[in-house]
A and B are shown apart, each in its own frame.
Chain A
Amino acid sequence: MKNIYYLIKKNLKLLIRAKSSALIVILAPLMLIMLIGLTYNTSKTGLNIGVISSSFTPDVNSFMNSLQKEDYKIIKYTESKECIEDIKLGFVHTCLVLPKDFQINDNKQKEIVFYIDQTKINLVYMITDTLNKEFNLKSTELSQEIVSDILSKLSRTQTKIQEKSTDLDKIKTKSQEAISKSNQVKSDIAAIDLTAPKTAYDFSKISVFKDSAAVKASTSITALTTAKSAVTSSNLNSSQKAIINNNIDDASTKLSQLLTMINGTGSDSLEEINSLIQSIQNDLNSTKNKLNSASTKLTSTNSQLTTINTNLNEGITSLDSVKSTLGDIQKDLSSIKVTNASTITTPLITKIEKITVEQTYMNYLFPSLLVLVIMFVAILLGTTLVMMEKHNPAYFRNYNMPVKKITFIFSTYLTNCFIILVQIAIIFGISLLFLNTTLSKLPLMALILLAAASVFTLIGMMIGYLFNSEDTGTLASISMGSLLLFISGVVLPLESMPTTIRHLTYFNPFVISEKLIREVFIFNSTSSALINDLLILLGYIIILTIVILIIDSIASKHFLTKMMYKHHKHVRENNEKKI
């Protein structure tokens, strides 16, 4: 157990004392992680968003402002074609086709169209994810507006109903009163006795009385005739005596008979007639009473009906008011234009459009994979070739050859390029077989890959010249490759980095190379569109060559001196042993 401890202790000491190894082995991964951590430690996404709209209304501008507040860079377009071209060139990450306004005036949902570069797989996810959040916010905002409108109208309806509730109560009270009054009228009317008197009047008795009186009258006439004869015998001239006697006699007779009829008890007696008339008198009195009573009732009923009339008039007025309010409510509710539940809940819908024809997943990954392979091969090969040369026994002789240092550097570079070109040829062969690559794209792609390979080779060579140990050099190469890969957008999208760092990463040769390959391989861009990026790569080549020359002039001599010192020491030790 102790031995393990001693050995570990020794290993760590050796590692730490070999400065460059310690730097690379211990610090490089830590620095790599720290760098990546710092690079991606942000919740903000730096997307360049192209906004396409036929008219930049206040609504559109407001939405654009809200996006800008979230650190998105907004570029305005009026034509989708221009924006799509800029996506292909990498100037913008997505294009949004926005409606003129976001007001929902009918049951139709507003559609927002995304144009995305589906070849940037992780970016697609990020764009849809982050922008959907923004749209969800906007959609929620619009949804809230619609619901708020509906709710305010409902609130107004409630207030009006409450207000009219008292009217309805009034109607109810008045109606109840009318019912009560009408019941009263009903009972009053029911109480009016309009039944005819039931006594049967025997009007034949009056006839008999008439006949009897007529007979008596004729008798009286006879009596009066006698009287007339008497009067004739009298001194009165004879005519007078006769007329007077007759009339007197007749009248006396009729009177005597009439007296009999009036005093008689028979059926033709006056008593009988009197009884009859008494009976009629009673009936008439009774009828008079009833009619008086009815008259009183009718007077009361009239009053009741007047009240009912008033109540009903008031009820009608209240009902008119309620009807008017209901009309208002109906109008208010009719003014709610959005009634579709899905439009209310999701007033905005998004539609994703792809900027290129749908291809296989491999096609999208191909540019990244190609550059990835070229990068690691070139860096490692560059380092390895330089290390091989440096650690070769012939290095010292080569160093002292009448050959310029740049010739050695250039030959190493060309050796690398040759090997990488062979690999590129193999990759192209495979891509022609398995991917839908056209032959016409290959020369331009080969040129880009050669430029990329040159940059990576020179980086590898620079590492080779910088470090003395092969292991350290290899490790540094891998670390460098990993760093370039991590800040390339292949693993994590560049757009999730802070703006300043992201701008620097656009100069990452991996990013530039991948962008160039993507533009040629997927978007069929022409060489003129790529010239700027190619010039950047060329700039790298020149700078790296100068750096390598400087490093070589300093480090190589130092390395050889160190190597010679080691050999010298070794020889001296051998000599001392011999002695």
Chain B
Amino acid sequence: MEILQIKEVTKEFDKKIVLDRLNFSVEEGDVFGIIGQSGSGKTTLLNLLIGFYDPSEGQVLFQPDKNKKPQDIHQNINEMRKQFGFASQVSSFYPKLTLRENLMHFGQLYGIKKKVLNGNIDNLLEFTKLTNHQNKLAEHISVGMQKRLDLSCSLIHKPKILILDEPTANLDPVLQKEVLYLIKQANHQGITIIIASHHLDEIEEICNKVALIHQGKITKWGTVEEVKKPYLDKERSIHLTAGEHHQRLVEGVKSLSVSRIVDKGTSLVLYSDEIQDTLYRLINLTQQKKINLQDIDIKKPSLQEVFEKIVQEDEEKTLSE
């Protein structure tokens, strides 16, 4: 069931089009990733989805139930907000309230009855492993805990859709994993997730669907596989680790006809449309130059790589036009 339908949505600021006739839909239970370059309009789109902005044109339809007709969320935004959870880039709670007080406060504002709310709070604290810190002031807990508290605040009213804007921004890898784990868990509990992030690897990790925004337009959207499919054969890469022979390897691969070489310092990535041929010549090269390869891995193109390719194509297309 399409829980959310974005139809011909356009958003203008001072006659400048930020979002241009967007069309896509989110199925119930999806973890839907919105990816795009900085300034592409991701955050504007999310703000539009939570009702912070009204679309200049088009509509966002929400259908919480099969038996109900889709409703334009901007027509009755306060009612719709009860179905949406939102966590912005920056944690949004009261630092001077305890964790429990924060959850209690936001829960009460959603109009949840006290008994139910207390249950929800206990469950959320346990879910986010914050039970032992519930009476601490929010400003006194770690950044990771604060992120979890923020997520809890967004989930306190058990929303149908959770919208997350850069949920792992400014977090270290461990905390990033923690947050992603929680998002996954929330999704397993039946919550549809819409997530915007710069970290395309984590989008690829947790999202089943993505929409690529470039210059305010959706260039691709669908399942991750669907988006990547046209590039799977073309954009495969060979990841090489040569240890002490790394520099010789870098010099050697220059003679190979590959589309792109990326030197990552301790490893090297070769992109080629003819991956079999490149691999054959690479083996010859290592034998000739007596380079000991410690590791060799052939990878399909990542979402990041596909995204970069799509953006590049799009820009070339724009230039040619």
Number of A-B contacts (CB under 8 A): 68
**In the bound complex, how far is the Cα of B86 from the Cα of A571, in angstroms?**
18
Residue contact A400 to B51, C-beta cutoff 8 Å: yes
**In the bound complex, how far is the Cα of B50 from the Cα of A557, in angstroms?**
13
Q: Does B153 interact with chain A (Cβ within 8 Å)?
A: yes
Find the B residue at minimum CB distance from A392: B94
**In the bound complex, how far is the Cα of B287 from the Cα of A61, in angstroms?**
126
Question: Most A CB atoms within 10 A — which of B77, B78, B82, B109?
Answer: B109
Question: Most A CB atoms within 10 A — which of B50, B90, B93?
Answer: B90
**In the bound complex, how far is the Cα of B90 from the Cα of A397, in angstroms?**
10
* CB within 8 Å of B: which A520-579 residues: 557, 560, 564, 567-568, 571-572, 574-575
Q: Which residues of A contact B77 (CB under 8 A)?
A: 402
Residue contact A564 to B110, C-beta cutoff 8 Å: no
Find the B residue at minimum CB distance from A579: B198
**In the bound complex, how far is the Cα of B93 from the Cα of A393, in angstroms?**
6
Residue contact A399 to B89, C-beta cutoff 8 Å: no
Q: Which residues of A contact B82 (CB under 8 A)?
A: 402
**In the bound complex, how far is the Cα of B94 from the Cα of A567, in angstroms?**
17
Q: Does A341 interact with chain B (Cβ within 8 Å)?
A: no
Q: Which residues of B contact A557 (CB under 8 A)?
A: 52
Output the least CB separation between B159 and chain A (Å): 11
* CB within 8 Å of B: which A129-149 residues: none
**In the bound complex, how far is the Cα of B259 from the Cα of A399, in angstroms?**
49
Residue contact B93 to A568, C-beta cutoff 8 Å: no
Find the B residue at minimum CB distance from A404: B78
Residue contact B43 to A568, C-beta cutoff 8 Å: yes
A403-B78, A557-B52, A568-B43 given; A397·B110 CB < 8 A: no
Q: Does A394 interact with chain B (Cβ within 8 Å)?
A: yes
Q: Which residues of B contact A564 (CB under 8 A)?
A: 43, 47, 88-89
Residue contact B52 to A560, C-beta cutoff 8 Å: yes
Q: Does B170 interact with chain A (Cβ within 8 Å)?
A: yes
**In the bound complex, how far is the Cα of B53 from the Cα of A560, in angstroms?**
11
Residue contact A568 to B78, C-beta cutoff 8 Å: no
Output the least CB separation between A275 and chain B (Å): 173
Q: Does B38 interact with chain A (Cβ within 8 Å)?
A: yes
Find the A residue at minimum CB distance from B43: A568
* Residue tally, chain A, CB below 8 Å to B: 22
Output the least CB separation between B222 and chain A (Å): 26
Encoded as 1 (CB less than 8 Å from any A CB) or 0, chain B from 81 to 101 comes to: 110001011111111000000
Q: Which residues of A contact B95 (CB under 8 A)?
A: 392-393
Residue contact B38 to A394, C-beta cutoff 8 Å: no
Q: Does B262 interact with chain A (Cβ within 8 Å)?
A: no
A400-B86, A401-B109 given; A394·B52 CB < 8 A: no
Residue contact B78 to A393, C-beta cutoff 8 Å: no
Find the B residue at minimum CB distance from A399: B52
Q: Which residues of A contact B88 (CB under 8 A)?
A: 396, 564, 567
Residue contact B50 to A575, C-beta cutoff 8 Å: no
**In the bound complex, how far is the Cα of B88 from the Cα of A403, in angstroms?**
19
**In the bound complex, how far is the Cα of B166 from the Cα of A395, in angstroms?**
18
Output the least CB separation between A266 and chain B (Å): 184
**In the bound complex, how far is the Cα of B90 from the Cα of A571, in angstroms?**
9
**In the bound complex, how far is the Cα of B51 from the Cα of A396, in angstroms?**
12
* CB within 8 Å of A: which B75-129 residues: 77-82, 86, 88-95, 102, 106, 109-111
A400-B81, A401-B109 given; A394·B94 CB < 8 A: yes
Which residue from B43, B80, B102, B109 sits with its C-beta under 8 Å from A403?
Answer: B109
Output the least CB separation between B86 and chain A (Å): 6
Question: Most A CB atoms within 10 A — which of B78, B94, B106?
Answer: B94
**In the bound complex, how far is the Cα of B110 from the Cα of A575, in angstroms?**
34
Output the least CB separation between B154 and chain A (Å): 8
Q: Does A296 interact with chain B (Cβ within 8 Å)?
A: no
Q: Does B169 interact with chain A (Cβ within 8 Å)?
A: yes
Residue contact B153 to A397, C-beta cutoff 8 Å: yes
Q: Which residues of A contact B38 (CB under 8 A)?
A: 568, 572
**In the bound complex, how far is the Cα of B111 from the Cα of A31, in angstroms?**
47
Q: Which residues of B contact A575 (CB under 8 A)?
A: 169, 198
**In the bound complex, how far is the Cα of B302 from the Cα of A308, in angstroms?**
160
Q: Does A398 interact with chain B (Cβ within 8 Å)?
A: yes
Output the least CB separation between B199 and chain A (Å): 9
Residue contact B106 to A401, C-beta cutoff 8 Å: yes
Encoded as 1 (CB less than 8 Å from any A CB) or 0, chain B from 42 to 55 comes to: 01000100111000
Which residue from B43, B78, B102, B170 sits with its C-beta under 8 Å from A574?
Answer: B170
Output the least CB separation between A368 and chain B (Å): 36
Residue contact A402 to B50, C-beta cutoff 8 Å: no
Q: Is the interface of B mostly helix, strand, loop or mixed?
A: loop
**In the bound complex, how far is the Cα of B82 from the Cα of A403, in angstroms?**
10
Find the A residue at minimum CB distance from B80: A402
Q: Which residues of B contact A574 (CB under 8 A)?
A: 169-170
Find the B residue at minimum CB distance from A407: B109
Which residue from B81, B169, B170 sits with its C-beta under 8 Å from A401?
Answer: B81
Which residue from A395, A568, A571, A572 sits with its C-beta under 8 Å from B92?
Answer: A395
* CB within 8 Å of A: which B36-74 residues: 38, 43, 47, 50-52
A568-B43, A574-B169 given; A401·B110 CB < 8 A: yes
Q: Which residues of A contact B51 (CB under 8 A)?
A: 400
Output the least CB separation between B304 and chain A (Å): 12
**In the bound complex, how far is the Cα of B91 from the Cα of A395, in angstroms?**
10
A402-B82, A575-B198 given; A568·B89 CB < 8 A: yes
**In the bound complex, how far is the Cα of B52 from the Cα of A503, in angstroms?**
44
Residue contact A397 to B52, C-beta cutoff 8 Å: no
Encoded as 1 (CB less than 8 Å from any B CB) or 0, chain A from 45 to 86 comes to: 000000000000000000000000000000000000000000
Find the A residue at minimum CB distance from B82: A402
Find the B residue at minimum CB distance from A572: B38
Find the B residue at minimum CB distance from A568: B43
Q: Which residues of A contact B111 (CB under 8 A)?
A: 402
Which residue from A397, A402, A404, A567 sits with its C-beta under 8 Å from B93?
Answer: A397
Residue contact B50 to A400, C-beta cutoff 8 Å: yes
Output the least CB separation between A572 and chain B (Å): 5
Residue contact A402 to B78, C-beta cutoff 8 Å: yes
Q: Which residues of A contact B153 (CB under 8 A)?
A: 397
**In the bound complex, how far is the Cα of B256 from the Cα of A536, in angstroms?**
87
Q: Which residues of A contact B91 (CB under 8 A)?
A: 393
Q: Which residues of B contact A572 (CB under 8 A)?
A: 38, 198
Find the A residue at minimum CB distance from B146: A393
Output the least CB separation between B8 and chain A (Å): 23
**In the bound complex, how far is the Cα of B168 from the Cα of A571, in angstroms?**
10
Output the least CB separation between A133 and chain B (Å): 61
**In the bound complex, how far is the Cα of B50 from the Cα of A401, in angstroms?**
10
* CB within 8 Å of B: which A388-425 residues: 392-404
Question: Most A CB atoms within 10 A — which of B77, B95, B154, B169?
Answer: B169
**In the bound complex, how far is the Cα of B42 from the Cα of A571, in angstroms?**
14
Q: Which residues of B contact A399 (CB under 8 A)?
A: 52
Residue contact A397 to B92, C-beta cutoff 8 Å: yes
Output the least CB separation between B35 and chain A (Å): 13
Residue contact A393 to B81, C-beta cutoff 8 Å: no
Output the least CB separation between B41 and chain A (Å): 12
Q: Which residues of B contact A568 (CB under 8 A)?
A: 38, 43, 89
Q: Which residues of A contact B90 (CB under 8 A)?
A: 393, 396, 567
Q: Which residues of A contact B106 (CB under 8 A)?
A: 397, 401
Residue contact B78 to A571, C-beta cutoff 8 Å: no
10 closest Cβ contacts across the A-B interface?
A397-B92, A402-B81, A402-B78, A571-B169, A394-B94, A396-B92, A567-B90, A401-B109, A402-B82, A572-B38
11 A–B pairs (Cβ distance < 8 Å), ordered by A: A392-B95, A393-B90, A393-B93, A393-B94, A394-B102, A396-B88, A400-B81, A401-B110, A402-B111, A564-B89, A571-B166
Q: A400-B52, A402-B81, A403-B109 are in contact. List 4 more A-B contacts (CB 8 A).
A: A402-B80, A568-B38, A568-B89, A571-B170
